[in-house]
Chains A and B, each alone.
Chain A
């Protein structure tokens, strides 16, 4: 077997607490499908037959009852972990180390994309890379987000990504938060790759191809807890460290004196296959080099290589903020050729429905309603003379007559009283909006969900 897929679905959705306090992030409906259905569908389309899903017990329970999850034909091996949130993605990988028998493809549950996955995996295969990841140009979300006051400044969380001339080899990765006085690049990197492109407008898609040796390395290094935050920058740095460039494996015995983390690089060096001398011979005889202008051989003799595939066209969203969630709801249905109106929904004839809207199963939409550019979840009841524009309505919601809902996100089981006028609001789960209410740009959640100060 070549690759094992691992889906990380235990994340809490800490950046959109209003949506996730009742529904865990992997099961948030996007286009009337649970969020984790999208990466699973991507894996299924590409040809995977088994996926290891790391999630919480709550999500597991919801998964087994959701009808859309039954459409997934792959074998899902669900591993439940505690929900306390202390377990990072790398910790989760360490937890399932016994199940990992070969190279692993880690996907996050909030990734919605139509990228050709073979581009990432081809980089991983062809260059015998240790890490191959996917990044996309960051999107500017233009829709007004409910509850947002003023423009959000995104400068604090910039990622600096350095790639080589071909745009494929990952040379440098750091988050602005980690850089105190400035961006410093080691001389050894500049000597090997004199031309480096540093990009800041990229978003990490959280899709990683990792060699099995990395998982074994994680098992020994318990201090690494997050793949994105710690493991990836570590691997990128290690490409150019002195130990990994030593050609003979015997020399590593001397390097044991270094820090404990560095000492464990032996594991990564021993990634080599059993026929290493033959592979060396083939590389020596081959007249290919990945760079030119200096006297070193291909890859500068380095065994650890990290590659990145950057896409600038096409759909690639990480649904971890409210703005991303709204945008995803608008665009995700376009990925699939599915009927906009679910066959079991009951829609009266005098309803005006735009072509961009999606109606879920068992809905009841009464007369004289107008639904434009919206997503209506399953089992929702919409009474007469309701105008719904640009909104996301989750499951089990009741909207009484005469309401006007514009640009809102209404979570499951909410009840909107008659004649309510809501603009750019976020109504939490199970909330009740009183009739004739007029709310603009508000987040309406239960008092028990408000943060304790």
Chain B
């Protein structure tokens, strides 16, 4: 760790300096590296200046070593301590035990000298230019260093609601963007206390003014539709998001002395926070947002506003066409090969892609029947059932508790996915892993259909770390005029858990049908790598 910290010199400090000025939270490894580098530089300076105050250095070094131990438990307070650190160049420290190699030192010495010179130059530049100049040069060098050395990736979806410091940071960020903070509701089951749990009866618009001036009306409408479940389903949410962004771009005018490429991205940030507060963003939405931000920042500065806007609008149209509409066609084409006459296909919930495939297969005159499995509290299977029966497909409807009884009849299982994770796990509606498990037990092939834009670089092996908690009151049902769970909040030992997603391990999935072809679950990281290189 120490050696890598020393030898990876330039890129590291660049990286860390940049992220410091951009105000992001540094990970533990980066901080340790930074500390070690600084210690090394100070040590070299001290050696050149004075060799006599060795004992003082030792004492101060001990103090600094105590600092990291104590501060490791409070990551958010570190940046505030680190920020003034580079400028004044305080505590001299010596790490004689750690860096004792003499030949390594000479190389390291040169590197340290170069680094020290660069830092001083940078400090003087900062004083002259101010903050405006910083983002522009730092955005460009971002691309090369990532190829040189693997940057430590931060988990943006790493929600930590039970950590008050993280909550405070979130509150501050929202305050800066003038977006109200949505408060959690009800008792949370302890295993999931790190996730948000909102109530549908307390929409975020309660705290917003009417008419909304901070947030574009199309985005407010979208947020409401998300939180009330009117737009649900990975594809629908992405399409609706892109549609709303089109409205935003149409109504956008560049303020004077600003560049469209930078200002528009900054305008979109509060909207994205708002949508995140209404309902946590899905992986497909995250990818769509990344694409749009990239497109916006790639607009050349000499481009006129009208031209730039029409270019962006056509980019969005193109994205939807390629990644959603054409991808659905391609997946349908591949899947139809897998559907043979006389098949009994089991589907779960309402996946827009699976419904599309089945309707296409039916139109191509394949003879099959469908078993729709449904589960509470969403009961989305009813909608899938309606769409399939409307086309004329013969369907059976069961609840998930009957899955093991109905599986002996089934020849194939088609599942939709919310996202495909980098380790091959499939993230989908809660209940999907159950169905995959039971299907595996019965030796029924499980095929997952997923477009490539839903592939995500996250890695997850269980459904606890990152999930979504829906309104617990949705679990309450009234039968024959009686609502048994009406006063569930008054029972201290009772918690209602309404999970939305779960992850299915790749051992239970036999094939993933994507627009790139039919791949095994373990090839997902390959697809991701190919995609990244393309972009």
A residues in contact (CB < 8 Å) with B: 1-4, 46-49, 105, 116-118, 121-122, 125-128, 273-275, 278-279, 281-289, 292, 295
Q: Are A275 and B210 in contact, with the CB atoms below 8 A?
A: no
Q: Can you list 19 A-B pairs, Cβ within 8 angstroms, ordered by A?
A: A2-B212, A2-B217, A4-B211, A46-B210, A118-B205, A122-B203, A273-B247, A281-B320, A282-B240, A284-B352, A285-B236, A286-B240, A287-B236, A287-B352, A287-B384, A289-B386, A292-B382, A292-B386, A295-B386
Partner of A282, one of B212, B220, B239, B247: B239
CA gap between A289 and B208 in the complex, in Å: 27
What's the minimum C-beta distance from B459 to chain A, rounded to whole angstroms?
28
CB neighbors of A among B219-242 (8 A): 220-221, 224-225, 228-233, 235-237, 239-240, 242
Q: Contacts A126-B224, A278-B243; is A47 near B211 (CB within 8 Å)?
A: yes
Q: Give chain B residues whose Cβ lies under 8 Å from the Cβ of A286.
A: 230-233, 236-237, 240, 352
Q: Give chain B residues whose Cβ lies under 8 Å from the Cβ of A3.
A: 210-211
CB neighbors of A among B233-289 (8 A): 233, 235-237, 239-240, 242-243, 246-247, 250
CA gap between A288 and B382 in the complex, in Å: 10
CA gap between A295 and B320 in the complex, in Å: 28
Q: Are B350 and A126 in contact, with the CB atoms below 8 A?
A: no
Q: Are A275 and B230 in contact, with the CB atoms below 8 A?
A: no
| 12 additional A-B residue pairs with CB within 8 Å, beyond A122-B205, A289-B386 | A47-B208, A47-B213, A117-B210, A122-B224, A274-B250, A278-B246, A279-B243, A286-B232, A286-B233, A286-B236, A286-B237, A287-B349
Across the interface, name the chain A residue whose C-beta is closest to B328: A285
Interface size in chain B (residues, C-beta < 8 A): 43
Q: Are B243 and A2 in contact, with the CB atoms below 8 A?
A: no
Q: Give chain A residues whose Cβ lies under 8 Å from the Cβ of B343.
A: none
Q: Are A118 and B225 in contact, with the CB atoms below 8 A?
A: no
CB neighbors of A among B320-346 (8 A): 320, 324-325
B190 within 8 A of partner (CB): no
Partner of B380, one of A117, A126, A287: A287
B residues in contact (CB < 8 Å) with A: 203, 205-206, 208-213, 217, 220-221, 224-225, 228-233, 235-237, 239-240, 242-243, 246-247, 250, 320, 324-325, 349-350, 352, 380, 382-384, 386, 389-390
Across the interface, name the chain A residue whose C-beta is closest to B316: A278
Q: Contacts A2-B212, A116-B206; is A126 near B230 (CB within 8 Å)?
A: yes
Partner of A128, one of B221, B239, B325: B221
Across the interface, name the chain B residue whose C-beta is closest to A118: B205
Q: Are A275 and B236 in contact, with the CB atoms below 8 A?
A: no
Q: Are B239 and A285 in contact, with the CB atoms below 8 A?
A: yes
CA gap between A183 and B286 in the complex, in Å: 52
Across the interface, name the chain A residue whose C-beta is closest to B250: A274
CA gap between A278 and B383 in the complex, in Å: 21
Q: Are A287 and B224 in contact, with the CB atoms below 8 A?
A: no
Q: Give chain A residues whose Cβ lies under 8 Å from the Cβ of B236.
A: 282-287
Q: Are B239 and A126 in contact, with the CB atoms below 8 A?
A: no
Across the interface, name the chain A residue whose C-beta is closest to B205: A118
What's the minimum C-beta distance from A383 to chain B, rounded to whole angstroms?
48
Q: Are B221 and A288 in contact, with the CB atoms below 8 A?
A: no
Q: Contacts A122-B205, A282-B236, A295-B390; is A2 near B230 (CB within 8 Å)?
A: no
What's the minimum C-beta distance from B354 to chain A, rounded to whole angstroms?
11
Q: Are A295 and B246 in contact, with the CB atoms below 8 A?
A: no
Q: Contacts A278-B320, A281-B239, A285-B239; is A47 near B210 (CB within 8 Å)?
A: yes
How many residue pairs link A and B with beta carbons under 8 A? The number is: 106
What's the minimum C-beta distance from B451 to chain A, rounded to whole angstroms?
12
Q: Contacts A2-B212, A287-B384; is A126 near B221 (CB within 8 Å)?
A: yes
Q: Are A288 and B224 in contact, with the CB atoms below 8 A?
A: no
Across the interface, name the chain A residue whose C-beta is closest to B381: A287
CA gap between A4 and B210 in the complex, in Å: 10
What's the minimum C-beta distance from A4 to chain B, rounded to whole angstroms?
8
CA gap between A288 and B352 in the complex, in Å: 11
Q: Are A47 and B232 in contact, with the CB atoms below 8 A?
A: no
List 5 tightest A-B contacts by C-beta distance, closest first: A47-B209, A287-B350, A286-B236, A2-B211, A285-B236
Which of A4, A274, A289 has the largest count of B CB atoms less than 10 A from its CB? A289
Q: Are B229 and A118 in contact, with the CB atoms below 8 A?
A: no
What's the minimum C-beta distance from B368 to chain A, rounded to whole angstroms?
21
CA gap between A274 and B349 in the complex, in Å: 32
Q: Give chain A residues whose Cβ lies under 8 Å from the Cβ of B210.
A: 2-3, 46-48, 105, 117-118, 121
CA gap between A49 and B210 in the complex, in Å: 10
Partner of B243, one of A47, A275, A287: A275
Q: Are B352 and A48 in contact, with the CB atoms below 8 A?
A: no
Q: Are A288 and B320 in contact, with the CB atoms below 8 A?
A: no
Q: Give chain A residues whose Cβ lies under 8 Å from the Cβ of B229.
A: 288
Partner of B246, one of A47, A121, A122, A275: A275
CA gap between A53 and B224 in the complex, in Å: 30
CA gap between A282 and B242 in the complex, in Å: 10
Which of A2, A46, A282 has the largest count of B CB atoms less than 10 A from its CB? A282
Q: Give chain A residues whose Cβ lies under 8 Å from the Cβ of B221.
A: 125-126, 128
Q: Are A125 and B350 in contact, with the CB atoms below 8 A?
A: no
CA gap between A285 and B327 in the complex, in Å: 14
What's the minimum C-beta distance from A130 to chain B, rounded to whole angstroms?
14
Which of A48, A125, A275, A286 has the largest count of B CB atoms less than 10 A from its CB? A286
Q: Are A288 and B203 in contact, with the CB atoms below 8 A?
A: no
CA gap between A122 and B209 in the complex, in Å: 12
What's the minimum C-beta distance from B244 to chain A, rounded to whole angstroms?
9
CA gap between A49 and B211 in the complex, in Å: 9
What's the minimum C-beta distance from A255 to chain B, rounded to whole angstroms?
26
Q: Give chain B residues whose Cβ lies under 8 Å from the Cβ of A278.
A: 239, 242-243, 246, 320
CA gap between A283 and B387 in the complex, in Å: 13
Q: Contacts A125-B221, A292-B382; is A285 near B209 (CB within 8 Å)?
A: no
CA gap between A32 and B237 in the complex, in Å: 51
Q: Give chain A residues whose Cβ lies under 8 Å from the Cβ of B390.
A: 295
CA gap between A116 and B206 in the complex, in Å: 8
What's the minimum C-beta distance from A127 to chain B, rounded to whole angstroms?
7
Q: Are A118 and B243 in contact, with the CB atoms below 8 A?
A: no
Which of A105, A126, A128, A281 has the largest count of B CB atoms less than 10 A from its CB? A126
CA gap between A162 and B224 in the complex, in Å: 25
CA gap between A174 and B390 in the complex, in Å: 35
Q: Are B220 and A125 in contact, with the CB atoms below 8 A?
A: yes
Q: Are A127 and B230 in contact, with the CB atoms below 8 A?
A: yes
Q: Give chain A residues whose Cβ lies under 8 Å from the Cβ of B380.
A: 287
Q: Give chain A residues whose Cβ lies under 8 Å from the Cβ of B212.
A: 2
What's the minimum C-beta distance from B163 to chain A, rounded to whole angstroms?
31
What's the minimum C-beta distance from B374 to chain A, rounded to whole angstroms?
11
CA gap between A292 and B386 in the complex, in Å: 9
Across the interface, name the chain B residue whose C-beta is closest to A289: B383
CA gap between A121 and B389 in the complex, in Å: 36
What's the minimum C-beta distance from A58 to chain B, rounded to whole angstroms?
30
Which of B228, B243, B380, B384 has the largest count of A CB atoms less than 10 A from its CB? B243
Partner of B352, one of A117, A122, A126, A285: A285
What's the minimum C-beta distance from A227 to chain B, rounded to whole angstroms?
20
CA gap between A4 and B208 in the complex, in Å: 16
Q: Give chain A residues whose Cβ lies under 8 Å from the Cβ of B233.
A: 285-287
What's the minimum C-beta distance from A276 to chain B, rounded to whole angstroms?
10
Q: Are B217 and A287 in contact, with the CB atoms below 8 A?
A: no
Across the interface, name the chain A residue whose C-beta is closest to B227: A126
Q: Give chain A residues whose Cβ lies under 8 Å from the Cβ of B235.
A: 285
Across the interface, name the chain B residue whose C-beta is closest to A295: B390
